[in-house]
């Protein structure tokens, strides 16, 4: 066990994967000598060589497209897209190719690759260093989407994602990178995909969040507890395929749900979550489902803390939902 | 190959014939840009602005190119070219207000620092995703040509951007449609940490142009008159229906990639020191001193003037309030649809992150 932050835990997971499995290799911009702009891959090129930790030219199409080819031919590439905001030049490769290869070859070919990418705001990054594009990928059949909130889960989920036979997008909450530390086993271990975690049991309102907003949901839950409202907080961990049972059974108990995410509201993942709850627990609902999200504008700079669905916006949503 | 030789004299066969006043103006603009950069870097380190991406060492490539274009020509920037915008007369106060994202920031705190734009100065908007501006420039040039306007377009981008999809699409379109556009490729040696030699297997960046049948030049980007000459030649080709030109400006990023970067991790001090000797300001200064148009006193005075100017802008910028919160909801569409009206009302009427402490 070592106390690690999120950056160190992911680094430890990558190191374990490179040691355990010689088909694993890392690719991305500035990930080698620099160790990545957030230092997540620090020391790995030195340890495993430039053949396994590739500093690529500046092309997300190149990174993701060649990773697909390598995955088709026996390797397990783990790619890094420097910021989630810069994934779009490679969007076609992910959405048209990685996602659909298995289906269009009736399973004869498949693409076991991982796309790691920092996402989210609150770091004074403005429009193009702050976005949360998870919904675009969740809506693409064939892609799995993971978003850990803490160092322990990050390492375990990453190792599971690397072992997974399907392409996995792994969104890293950059706001949490150095903000949280916890004990993490030094040896490799896995955390299964598709299992949410109840991080705070409660009886009156279900609050679903992931990544950096999990902490805001938790803070808000503690705050409203002081006012007599008991909130159950669920950390989704894997966004897709979703652990729908954990959410639905929670709502069957509480009758109320508040979903929190940074991405804009319209067609955000929150919309899908409340639709699922409406379909599966309609008769148990005691209040309209609520979404606390980023506004439907591009991500701003000066007022980013008013844009983000931080605790100050979650608290009233929880109170209103509880008292509906 | 230089227009300004090492001893400061001009190569008479290449001299573009600028007057002494014109050359001094170039020097003064380059110094001003550097002083502004230095000041912004300092205040970023003190946490007073979020970020800065500077042009230390690349001033000749940027300002020389801007100066060789005519006022009616367009500049499509990457993100290091604020020197070109200032050259065109963009108010420094406005730039500094933008760096602070305050109420007088022309884009009202909606973007990271150094994402300028100005229609009045025919300067398109800086965007972070690499390479995206290059096809826009070709499109602007195609529009100018279709509309029969005597204009050309200079588009800046880095060595890293030559790996982007958009670069290749733009080069191809420019050549196919004979667009009056100049591809101004600042080869500053690095894309963040990746040296140009590992960005591409070609020996030069200029040779990529041959694949698209675009004429190319490869010049010393630290020699402002060489830059001026090459860009003016390209602009004349464009004006004479000769289509696009690719210009590789060989220079060096003397500073970090941005204030978030520490270049010591990936390059040696010796390498940087050797480029310091090739600082474009030094070469040009030698030349204007030789023409007895410049000396130590004038230099010191000019730097002091520039520094006082930027300090005053900073002082004013720091006194200004943040933009209105409601500004966050403007300009998403030409007219605000119902959902944004609702969200804006909700945001303005709701709790604020900034109230957090008062609440309990
Ligand atoms: C599509 C995309 N991928 C990655 C990045 C992150 N990034 C920002 S600047 C940069 C390097 C650009 O290098 P170059 O084009 O040489 O320009 P320079 O910074 O040297 O002027 C990278 C990788 C980005 N902005 N956009
Ligand atoms: Mg460069």
Query: In the predicted model, is pLDDT for residue B358 greater than 90?
Result: no
Res B1: pLDDT: 72
Q: Which domains does chain A have, with CATH numbers?
A: 2-184 (3.40.50.970), 197-323 (3.40.50.920)
**How many angstroms separate the Cα of B13 from the Cα of each of B16, B234, B274?**
9, 18, 28
Contact yes or no for A193/A157 (Cβ under 8 A): yes
Q: Which helix (H) or strand (E) holds B249?
A: strand B245-250
Separation of alpha carbons A322 and A221, rounded Å:
12
DSSP strand E in A29-160: where?
Answer: 53-55, 76-80, 114-119, 144-146
Contact yes or no for B67/B86 (Cβ under 8 A): no
Q: What pLDDT digit, counting tens, does each position of B271-283 carry?
A: 999 999 999 999 9
Res B98: pLDDT: 98
Q: What pLDDT digit, counting tens, does each position of B275-311 carry?
A: 999 999 999 999 999 999 999 999 999 999 999 999 9
Res B231: pLDDT: 98
How close, in Å, is residue B53 to chain A by CA atoms?
A: 13
Query: In the predicted model, is pLDDT for residue B357 greater than 50?
Result: no
Structure tokens at B319: 């006194």
Q: Which helix (H) or strand (E) holds A220?
A: helix A213-225
The band of B356, judged by pLDDT with boundaries at 50, 70 and 90, is: low
Structure tokens at A305: 């803390």
Q: What pLDDT digit, counting tens, does each position of B303-349 carry?
A: 999 999 999 999 999 999 999 999 999 999 999 999 999 999 999 99
How distant is the alpha carbon of residue B341 from its chain centre? 36
Separation of alpha carbons B183 and B291, rounded Å:
32
Q: Measured in angstroms, how far is the CA atom of residue B113 from the centroid of ligand 1? A: 16
pLDDT, average across residues A233-247? 98
Terminal Cα-to-Cα distance of chain A (whole angstroms): 45
Taking the CA of residue B187 as reference, the ligand 1 atom at the shortest distance is 16
Query: Residue B346's closest CA among A258, A270, A296?
Result: A296
Query: In the predicted model, is pLDDT for residue B129 greater than 50?
Result: yes
B185: helix, strand or coil: strand
**Which DSSP letter does residue A154 get?**
H
Terminal Cα-to-Cα distance of chain B (whole angstroms): 70
Separation of alpha carbons B107 and B113, rounded Å:
10
What ranges do the domains of chain B cover? 20-323, 325-360
Its sign, for the CA torsion B268, B269, B274, B277, is positive
| HSE-up of residue B156 (Cα within 13 Å, Cβ side) | 31
Separation of alpha carbons A204 and A79, rounded Å:
41
Task: Tell me which chain B residues have a C-beta less than 8 angstroms from the C-beta of A316.
Answer: 350-351
Beta-bridge mates of residue A145: A169, A240
CB contact under 8 A, B128 and A127: yes
A82 lines ligand 1 (CB under 6 A): yes
Structure tokens at B19: 């007057």
pTM above 0.95?
yes
- Cβ under 8 Å to B: A residues 200-239: none
Query: In the predicted model, is pLDDT for residue B360 greater than 80?
Result: no
Separation of alpha carbons A79 and A118, rounded Å:
12
How close, in Å, is residue A252 to chain B by CA atoms?
A: 29
Separation of alpha carbons A31 and A80, rounded Å:
8
Res B354: pLDDT: 77
pLDDT, average across residues A30-55? 98
Burial A47-73, CB ≥16 within 10 A → b, else e: ebeeebbbbbbbbbbbbbbbbbebbbe
Separation of alpha carbons B107 and B338, rounded Å:
23
Separation of alpha carbons B315 and B310, rounded Å:
9
ipTM for the predicted complex: 0.95
Q: Which helix (H) or strand (E) holds B75?
A: strand B74-76
The band of B355, judged by pLDDT with boundaries at 50, 70 and 90, is: confident
CB contact under 8 A, B109 and A303: yes
Nearest by CB to residue B325, choosing from A85, A306, A308, is A306
Q: What pLDDT digit, counting tens, does each position of A176-191 carry?
A: 999 999 999 999 999 9
Residue closest via CA to ligand 1's atom 19 equals B191
Q: What one-character-per-residue DSSP string does B308-339 give? A: HHHHHHHHHHHHSPPPPGGGGGSSSSSS--HH
A85 touches chain B (CB under 8 A): yes
A267 touches chain B (CB under 8 A): no
The protein residues having their C-beta less than 5 angstroms from ligand 2 (an ion) are B 158-159, 188, 191
Separation of alpha carbons A243 and A234, rounded Å:
11
* CATH architecture of the domain with range B20-323: 3-Layer(aba) Sandwich (3.40)
Q: Torsions phi, psi of A48, nearest 5?
A: -110, -5
Q: Is A129 a catalytic residue?
A: yes
Q: What pLDDT digit, counting tens, does each position of B145-178 carry?
A: 999 999 999 999 999 999 999 999 999 999 999 9
Q: Measured in angstroms, how far is the CA atom of residue B359 from the centroid of ligand 2? A: 48
Separation of alpha carbons B229 and B65, rounded Å:
9
Q: Which ligand is closest to the CA of B157, given by its number?
A: 1
Strands A114-119 and A76-80 come out as parallel
Query: In the predicted model, is pLDDT for residue B5 greater than 80?
Result: yes
Percentage of the residues of chain A whose pLDDT score is greater than 90: 100
Q: Which ligand is closest to the CA of A91, given by its number?
A: 1
């Amino acid at each position: 066990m070592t106390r690690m932050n999120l950056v160190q835990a992911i680094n430890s997971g990558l190191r374990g994967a490179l040691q355990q499995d010689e088909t694993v290799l890392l690719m991305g911009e500035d990930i080698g000598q620099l160790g990545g702009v957030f230092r997540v891959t620090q020391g790995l090129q030195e340890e495993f060589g430039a053949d396994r930790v590739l500093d690529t030219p500046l092309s997300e199409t190149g990174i993701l497209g060649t990773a697909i080819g390598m995955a088709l031919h026996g390797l397990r590439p783990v790619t890094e897209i420097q910021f989630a905001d810069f994934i779009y030049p490679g969007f076609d490769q992910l959405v048209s190719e990685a996602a659909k290869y298995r289906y269009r070859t009736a399973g004869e070919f498949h693409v076991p690759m991982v796309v790691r990418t920092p996402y989210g705001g609150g770091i004074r990054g403005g429009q193009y260093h702050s976005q949360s594009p998870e919904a675009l990928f969740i809506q693409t059949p064939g892609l799995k989407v993971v978003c850990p909130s803490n160092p322990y889960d990050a390492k375990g989920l990453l190792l599971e994602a690397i072992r997974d036979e399907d392409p996995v997008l792994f969104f890293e909450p950059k706001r949490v990178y150095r903000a949280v530390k916890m004990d993490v086993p030094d040896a490799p271990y896995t955390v299964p995909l598709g299992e949410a975690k109840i991080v705070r049991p409660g009886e009156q309102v279900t609050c679903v969040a992931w990544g950096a907003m999990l902490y805001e949901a938790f803070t808000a839950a503690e705050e409203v507890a002081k006012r007599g409202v008991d909130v159950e907080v669920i950390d989704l961990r894997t966004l897709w395929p979703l652990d729908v049972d954990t959410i639905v059974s929670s709502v069957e108990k509480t009758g109320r749900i508040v979903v929190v995410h940074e991405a804009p509201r319209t067609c955000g993942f929150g919309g899908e979550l409340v639709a699922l709850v409406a379909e599966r627990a309609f008769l148990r609902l005691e209040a309209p489902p609520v979404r606390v999200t980023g506004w439907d504008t591009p991500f701003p700079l000066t007022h980013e803390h008013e844009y983000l669905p931080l605790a100050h916006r979650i608290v009233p949503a929880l109170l209103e939902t509880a008292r509906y | 190959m230089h227009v300004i030789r090492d001893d400061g004299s001009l190569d008479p066969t290449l001299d573009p014939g600028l007057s002494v006043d014109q050359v001094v103006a170039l020097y003064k603009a380059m110094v001003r840009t550097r002083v502004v950069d230095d000041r912004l870097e300092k205040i970023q380190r003190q946490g007073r602005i979020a970020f800065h991406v500077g042009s230390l060492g690349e001033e000749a490539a940027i300002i020389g190119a801007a100066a060789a274009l005519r006022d009616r020509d367009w500049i499509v920037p990457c993100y290091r070219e604020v020197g070109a915008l200032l050259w065109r007369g963009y108010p420094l106060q406005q730039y500094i207000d933008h760096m602070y994202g305050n109420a007088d920031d022309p884009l009202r705190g909606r973007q990271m620092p150094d994402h300028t734009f100005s229609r009045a100065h025919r300067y398109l908007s800086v965007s972070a995703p690499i390479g995206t501006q290059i096809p826009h420039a070709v499109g602007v040039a195609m529009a100018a040509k279709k509309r029969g306007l005597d204009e050309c377009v200079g588009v800046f981008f880095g060595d890293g951007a030559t790996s982007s999809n958009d670069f290749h699409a733009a080069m191809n379109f420019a050549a196919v449609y004979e667009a009056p556009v100049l591809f101004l490729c600042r080869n500053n040696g690095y894309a963040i940490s990746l040296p140009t030699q590992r960005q591409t297997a070609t020996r030069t960046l200029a040779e990529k142009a041959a694949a698209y049948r675009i004429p190319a030049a490869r010049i010393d980007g630290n020699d402002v008159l060489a830059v001026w000459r090459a860009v003016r030649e390209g602009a004349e080709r464009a004006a004479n229906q000769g289509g696009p030109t690719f210009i590789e400006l060989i220079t060096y990023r003397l500073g970090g990639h941005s204030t978030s970067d520490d270049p010591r991790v990936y390059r040696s001090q010796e390498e940087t020191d050797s480029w310091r000797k090739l600082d474009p300001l030094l070469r040009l200064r030698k030349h204007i001193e030789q023409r007895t148009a410049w000396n130590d006193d004038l230099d010191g005075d000019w730097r002091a003037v520039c520094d006082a100017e930027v300090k005053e802008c900073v002082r004013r910028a720091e006194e200004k309030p943040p933009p209105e919160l409601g500004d966050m909801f403007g300009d998403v569409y030409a007219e605000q649809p119902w959902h944004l009206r609702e969200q804006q009302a909700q945001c303005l009427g709701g709790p604020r992150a900034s109230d957090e402490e008062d609440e309990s």
